[in-house]
Structure 1
Amino acid sequence: MNEVKHETNTSALSWDSMSVPQGPPIPITHENIQQVMVPVPIKMQPPPNLNPMMDHGAPMQQGPMTPHQGVQMGAPYMDHELPPELIQQGWRKFWSKRENRPYFWNRVTGESLWDMPQFDPIGDPLGICAGPAPPHTPTMNNMSMPPQAMKRRASDGMGMGGPPLPKKFILSGPWDLEIVTNVIILERPPTTMPQPHPEIELFRCNLTNKLRNLLQEMCHSREGIDAPNDSFNRWLMERKVIDTGSDPLLPTSCYPEISPGMYREIMNDIPLKLKKPKYTGDARKQLSKYAEAAKKMIESRNASPESRKVVKWNAEDTFAWLRKTVGATYDDFQERLNHLKTQCQPHLTETVKDSVEKICLKIYHLSSEHAKKIRDKHNELLASNGILEPPPPMSSMNCRKVWCYPIQFATPSCRMPTIEYHPDKEQIMLRFQNDTVTVNNLQFQKLEHLYRYSCFDDKKFELFLPRVWCLLKRYNTFLGIMGQMNILDTQHTGHKTQASLPGPVMECLNRQFGVTFECFASPLNCYFRQYCSMFADTDSYFGSRGPILDLKAVSGSFQAHPPYCEELMEATVTHIEQLLADSPEPLSFIVFVPDHRDPTPNALVKLEASHFKRKQVVVPAFEHEFRIGIQHMVTNKTDLNVKSQHGTLVVWLQNSAGYSKWPPTEDKVEKLLDAFRPGRERERDKLELLSPKAEPNPQTPPSETQTQPPLGGGPAPPGPPQVKMNNHNNVAMYPPVGS
């Protein structure tokens, strides 16, 4: 890896793009020189655009930014970055090799600071308190610099007695959005999906909720059971692995039409959903109920004589055993229940097979019909806005390597309706057509931050609220949150599929293994600002790179924590192995899956048998925590983390180059296991109150320019935003275009 100095432009103010008379030349200065990690050694090219007066209200007209573009190294000292007033007062800027960040030293007073000192024009307007300053000759200083490193400072008053640039606002929370990506992907065409719209999203979510309720009604009326917990959510995820349809939520084109996951989960609950009893009395009662339910089902169905005979005989034998047995232990009842289920379940499965298959088929066919209605309604909306129907999918573009960038759309956005904004003490409510979604204040600020990084077509934030409403409505529908129900009731929500690793674990993954990318996340639970998510359309404005199964990664370090869906987990392992086999560049995946062994899922077997496996460890059950999947709706911090009731298997899948760059040594693995210890997040919060936030990890290539969409090719690398704060409600304000 080559380390070079990366120099970037600061953004010009909005009035810089206006036509002004020619005045005296602006002093030529230079911006921050930062350390960049370039993926492979290559000859450095000059920056594509050095014009400081470009219009920041429109996308930057620059060439595609590949991972190998950069800037030549600058001078070892950085005095040219300070305004003349601070230089006159004796301040100098140097680079700390130990801390890997700049610091400021006053040669007159001997004072040393990490942050840029503030110039006080009232207390010392002429700099009299400071010693004599050397003459400021920017022309001579710049002559010693390489020609390609010369840049003019934006017309913000710097160098002419104006105030220094405002500091960049870093949003504090259980995330680190300042870490930039080290992931390189193959360039991809824009998606042909239409952009989300509140009216269409409300229509889609209403149809999806009807489908969820229909599954519950059919299971109850036909099989006498409740729909398995989270089965509808897992059905959506499992179908999307093989779905070739166009709807982002509902499956429309799948083969086979009968979902093996839904079929298996319904069958497991027939004739009675079994739970692990807590007491011996509960075990005895569950055994009796199972025998009674099996006998009742076999008598009420059109079963074969042999099946009817076997089930009834085993049920009667169980009743006789319960009557004559006194003082049986907990294990005795559980052993008898397992024996009864082994004898009866095959006959019950054969009896209800057709009925369960019809349930799965009806849900799938209705999903296809609903998706067609949604598509037709969306096309009508596009036509009313003068937008042509989305073109067919484009052919693959050239296989150029670029920094990973958010999903881009091939069609423009429709006119958005008004979204009512109702701030509260701890939450913010957004309402559209009497349908209200809520999000806590900190998460709302996080969405603003992500939107500022990743959205390219709405610099004025005019479409921000409608897009946030669509995002929240989509995830509420997916998780099964309807109305004012108890959001922590796990019986009615699927938030377990959105559980995420705690902050200390993610921080350790970044520091020890260079991880900068999450394979399974959402704008509501992501730790980094670059990630893959289930919904490419609603999440793209907030940094999503689309589904992980569609990502063609070439290089980088990833964290993969898939939701518990066996088909999705198995497809993910297959996709990761294919990426590792195809890429000679450093590529690493750290996979976190539940350590279920009774029975062992196929994904777990395939993961442990992979020839790319470098190491594996197990975090014991009840000795680590996860963040719940609805953290955006919870205001009490004590409800955010829940202890895991199962062990978690951690597996390192790496190619040879990735293993050389990010090896899972014993010391690093021990630090990761220590980060899993419960209570580490609370300790981390206390430390943040006592000490300033640490600088981002220097392993990843820093950048100070905001990501731009690919113009005629690849994208530019991402960078941090400039945010102004409103002192009244502590919410980030929307800057004018060009800021």
Structure 2
Amino acid sequence: MEGESTSEKCTSDVEGYTSNPEMENFVDQEFMKEMEESQNKEYNGMSESNNSYNNNDHTTEDRHANPAALMRRASEPAVLNGLPEPLIQAGWGLFWSQRENRHYFFNSLTNQSSWEMPKLPTSGVVPRSPTGAAPFDDPLGLHSSTSSENESRKEISLKRRRSCEPWTEASRKVSRIEIFWDFDIKTDVVVMESAPCNMPPPTPESERYRATLINQLRQHYQDMCHSREGIDAPHESFNRWILERKVSDRGCDPILPTDCPNEVSPAMYREIMHDIPIRLSRIKYLSDARKQLFCYAEAAKKMIETRNTTAESRKQVKWQTEETFSWLRKEQNALLEDYLDRLSHLRRQCGPHLAQTAKSSVESICAKMYHMAREYSKKIYDKATATLREHRIDIPPQPKPTANLVPGAPCAMITPSPPLSGVTQDIDKTHVNLTYKNELLRINKRFMEKLESLYRYGCHDDPTLTNFLPRVWCLLRRYQTIFGPNQYEGVVLQGALPVPVFKCLNEVFGVTMECFASPLNCYFKHYCSASVDTDAYFGSSGPILQFFPVSGSFEANAPFAEELMEAMVDHFERLLAQSDKPLSFIVFVPEWRDPTPVATLHMENSKFKRKQVLIPAFEHEYRSGLQHIAPESEVYHKSVHGTLLFFLQNDAGFEKWGPTPARLRELLNAFQPKSRSCTEKTSPTNHSP
């Protein structure tokens, strides 16, 4: 109900509509009586065909009402009888509520409902936008009253909702869900002007092809690990390999590494070695400990007997494993701690010999993955450029960056985009479904509106928003490709801080920009992200390692890839050392201590560290990486480990946004889980690339 949806006295009736007994007096009772008499007369003489009126937008209870009551609100001529013509053109009609036994007004275009007579619109019919929301204004008069209702439903129009109003007022009033962003916040960030991006603009066909090849690459990785080392590919190892490779990659592909100084990835090598000879799982029970100790000894013995290795390594491993088997036969009543100690001892003694034996094989896996990535990247680039040539579009040369200081703004895409088409949308109760060549991608309706708002802000080559739906499809396809094909795979890459924390960071510490985000999980409209070619149209400033601010306050919540975290800290320290203007980075990292990551050690000893704060495990939450498709009850997840906060600031930044005790208390309070229901699931707090 307009203006009353948040009232505690309101009770839910039909979707997007609330019932309030106090609003009965708002309706002209005499007018309603005349309407009811008129409708009864209409019903008596109405033909059978008029009974086919579509009631899909109303309650099941109303659908099964008696014919007289049904026709009171379902008869098309009766609904329109007595309403001013401008209201009818705007989609308003008068209907009967079987539950409340009275009339109400319902707009078939905007899904608004009200007991009170709607105000007369100042212009003609207001069509829907592709997000399903109805804009409240048309400052350029692009939508005239001559537009038919059928055209407004069939034709996709993204025209003329102001960029400063990312969601419609009707949506804000009806919905009770929390809004995970605030695009009214302006930024005071000043940066060194970067070069625009000349990558081929994404198209649905090229993104579909990219997804196919990268999924093949994932499968090749799994097959090589299984055939050569007898293990499954380490969990999330492929995703961390991409993040680690892009730190040193000088190539042009937004995802795949193509020009790295070393073809062997330290991250991939380390993670494969960690699972050799078997992957050890978390031990909870005594039987698990005994089983894993036996399996590790058996796998180590088999590996050392079937591989080419030195005689000394074979001797040491066989001796240690035979001693373990003997101990297992004798110690039938050992304690859990005894099994854990024995397993740790066996790994220390056999690990170096097994690593030396498997070294060449693991290095060949890493090298093969790198060369296949280069080959696939070339195929993707060739397909994209072939599409451009079909439309006689040339890729301009890459401009050089300048040393000019400019306000923070989205990265500019300078390669013209070919015509984009073929994406259709279907809007259901909670989601928008986008389909391209039978491949369907879903997004929450609220997040679709968010993307539309970001698109109006960040896109400069599509003022009529003709390419909005294809570019949203490309965006969703890109991030699903990064996540991986399996359920919940890669979700930790898109986790985000709770909304109260972002609000506190902005109000207390002046934060207006995120260093690691995406259009799907950003809170501010100013952010950096990894996939600049898909994200730039939605306001991204590009990768943080290619972003050079000289002033401003930033939030940094990087994915948990150690090499990326190290590069992030080095980048921040260089920026802080070079600027004499207020500059601040509030960095969030996991509390890992066995061993402690190099990035954490570096920040703990940094001369720019002003404060270090620990948020204990299970006492704070993060937003899910699937927040753009997840139900509201599954958005927040408790963190299973602690989070460390580092305040890295130069002198001017410390003077302006220093972590005083009062400010820290506000931030810690913001981290406390609120009274809203939070899912009992727990999740690690990795975040977007």
Partner of 2:400: 395
Partner of 2:472: 468
The correspondence for 1:569, drawn from 565, 568, 579, is: 565
Q: Write out aligned runs for 1:262-411 (5 A).
A: 262-391=268-397, 393-397=398-402, 399-411=403-415
TM-aligned CA deviation for residue 682 of structure 1: 5.4
Contact kept in structure 2, 1:502 and 1:681, CA below 8 Å: no
TM-aligned CA deviation for residue 389 of structure 1: 3.1
The correspondence for 1:234, drawn from 218, 224, 240, is: 240
Partner of 2:540: 544
Residue 583 of structure 2 corresponds to residue 587 of structure 1: yes
Partner of 1:335, secondary structure, is helix
Distance of 2:611 and 2:443 partners within structure 1: 39
Partner of 1:248: 254
What is the letter of the counterpart of residue 510 of structure 1? Answer: N
Distance of 2:308 and 2:673 partners within structure 1: 53
Tell me which protein shows more helix as a share of its residues: 2
The correspondence for 2:645, drawn from 645, 650, 663, is: 650
Distance of 2:437 and 2:544 partners within structure 1: 34
What is the letter of the counterpart of residue 394 of structure 1? Answer: P
Partner of 2:447: 443
Write out per-residue CA displacement over residues 540-568 of structure 1, whole angstroms, 9 at most, x where no aligned residue: 11111000000010110000000000100
The correspondence for 1:504, drawn from 490, 500, 503, is: 500
The correspondence for 2:659, drawn from 649, 656, 664, is: 664
Partner of 1:605: 601
Distance of 2:428 and 2:193 partners within structure 1: 43
Distance of 2:192 and 2:544 partners within structure 1: 13
Distance of 2:546 and 2:288 partners within structure 1: 47
What is the letter of the counterpart of residue 548 of structure 2? Answer: K
Partner of 1:639: 634
Distance of 1:646 and 1:168 partners within structure 2: 38
TM-aligned CA deviation for residue 121 of structure 1: 11
TM-aligned CA deviation for residue 170 of structure 1: 5.3
Partner of 1:520: 516
Distance of 1:196 and 1:431 partners within structure 2: 16
What is the letter of the counterpart of residue 469 of structure 2? Answer: L
Label 1:680 to 1:368 Cα distance change in 2 as closer, same or farther (>3 A). farther
TM-aligned CA deviation for residue 168 of structure 1: 6.0
What is the letter of the counterpart of residue 508 of structure 2? Answer: Q
Write out per-residue CA displacement over residues 74-123 of structure 1, whole angstroms, 9 at most, x where no aligned residue: xxxxxxxxxxxxxxxxxxxxxxxxxxxxxxxxxxxxxxxxxxxxxx999x
Label 1:543 to 1:682 Cα distance change in 2 as closer, same or farther (>3 A). farther
Partner of 2:208: 202
Distance of 2:644 and 2:432 partners within structure 1: 37
TM-aligned CA deviation for residue 155 of structure 1: 9.4
Label 1:244 to 1:155 Cα distance change in 2 as closer, same or farther (>3 A). closer
Identity of aligned residues (%): 52
Partner of 2:668: 673
Partner of 2:299, secondary structure, is helix
Distance of 1:662 and 1:403 partners within structure 2: 20
Label 1:562 to 1:284 Cα distance change in 2 as closer, same or farther (>3 A). same
Partner of 2:554: 558
Distance of 2:400 and 2:539 partners within structure 1: 24
The correspondence for 1:478, drawn from 478, 482, 487, is: 482
TM-aligned CA deviation for residue 394 of structure 1: 1.6
The correspondence for 1:531, drawn from 514, 519, 527, is: 527
Contact kept in structure 2, 1:216 and 1:227, CA below 8 Å: yes
Contact kept in structure 1, 2:194 and 2:547, CA below 8 Å: no
Distance of 1:475 and 1:236 partners within structure 2: 13
Distance of 1:682 and 1:321 partners within structure 2: 50
TM-aligned CA deviation for residue 379 of structure 1: 1.5
Contact kept in structure 1, 2:584 and 2:650, CA below 8 Å: yes
Distance of 2:673 and 2:119 partners within structure 1: 50
Contact kept in structure 2, 1:504 and 1:680, CA below 8 Å: no
TM-aligned CA deviation for residue 681 of structure 1: 5.8
Residue 221 of structure 2 corresponds to residue 215 of structure 1: yes
Q: Which has the higher contact order (CA 8 A, sep 6+)?
A: 1
Contact kept in structure 1, 2:294 and 2:325, CA below 8 Å: yes
TM-aligned CA deviation for residue 623 of structure 1: 1.2
Contact kept in structure 1, 2:163 and 2:457, CA below 8 Å: no
Write out per-residue CA displacement over residues 320-362 of structure 1, whole angstroms, 9 at most, x where no aligned residue: 1111113322211111111000000100000011110111111
Distance of 2:638 and 2:163 partners within structure 1: 39
The alignment yields a C-alpha RMSD, in angstroms, of 1.9
Partner of 1:454: 458
What is the letter of the counterpart of residue 262 of structure 2? Answer: P
Label 1:168 to 1:577 Cα distance change in 2 as closer, same or farther (>3 A). closer
Distance of 1:665 and 1:614 partners within structure 2: 10
Partner of 1:69: none
Distance of 1:565 and 1:677 partners within structure 2: 26
Partner of 1:27: none
Write out per-residue CA displacement over residues 476-498 of structure 1, whole angstroms, 9 at most, x where no aligned residue: 01000x3xx5x34xxxx011122
Write out per-residue CA displacement over residues 422-474 of structure 1, whole angstroms, 9 at most, x where no aligned residue: 22222211111222211111111111111111111112110001100110000
What is the letter of the counterpart of residue 572 of structure 1? Answer: M
What is the letter of the counterpart of residue 445 of structure 2? Answer: N
What's the TM-score, normalizing by structure 2?
Answer: 0.72
Write out per-residue CA displacement over residues 512-556 of structure 1, whole angstroms, 9 at most, x where no aligned residue: 101111000001111111100010110011111000000010110
Distance of 1:555 and 1:681 partners within structure 2: 36
Partner of 2:132: none
The correspondence for 2:181, drawn from 175, 179, 189, is: 175
Label 1:465 to 1:618 Cα distance change in 2 as closer, same or farther (>3 A). same
Larger deviation: 421-430 or 524-533?
Answer: 421-430
Contact kept in structure 1, 2:514 and 2:524, CA below 8 Å: yes
Distance of 1:477 and 1:571 partners within structure 2: 24
Distance of 1:180 and 1:251 partners within structure 2: 35
What is the letter of the counterpart of residue 656 of structure 2? Answer: K
Distance of 1:428 and 1:304 partners within structure 2: 61
Contact kept in structure 1, 2:228 and 2:361, CA below 8 Å: yes
Partner of 1:700: none
Label 1:617 to 1:536 Cα distance change in 2 as closer, same or farther (>3 A). same
Label 1:170 to 1:469 Cα distance change in 2 as closer, same or farther (>3 A). closer
Distance of 1:540 and 1:562 partners within structure 2: 19
Label 1:656 to 1:533 Cα distance change in 2 as closer, same or farther (>3 A). same
Label 1:419 to 1:121 Cα distance change in 2 as closer, same or farther (>3 A). closer
What's the TM-score, normalizing by structure 1?
Answer: 0.68
Contact kept in structure 1, 2:198 and 2:395, CA below 8 Å: no
TM-aligned CA deviation for residue 390 of structure 1: 3.1
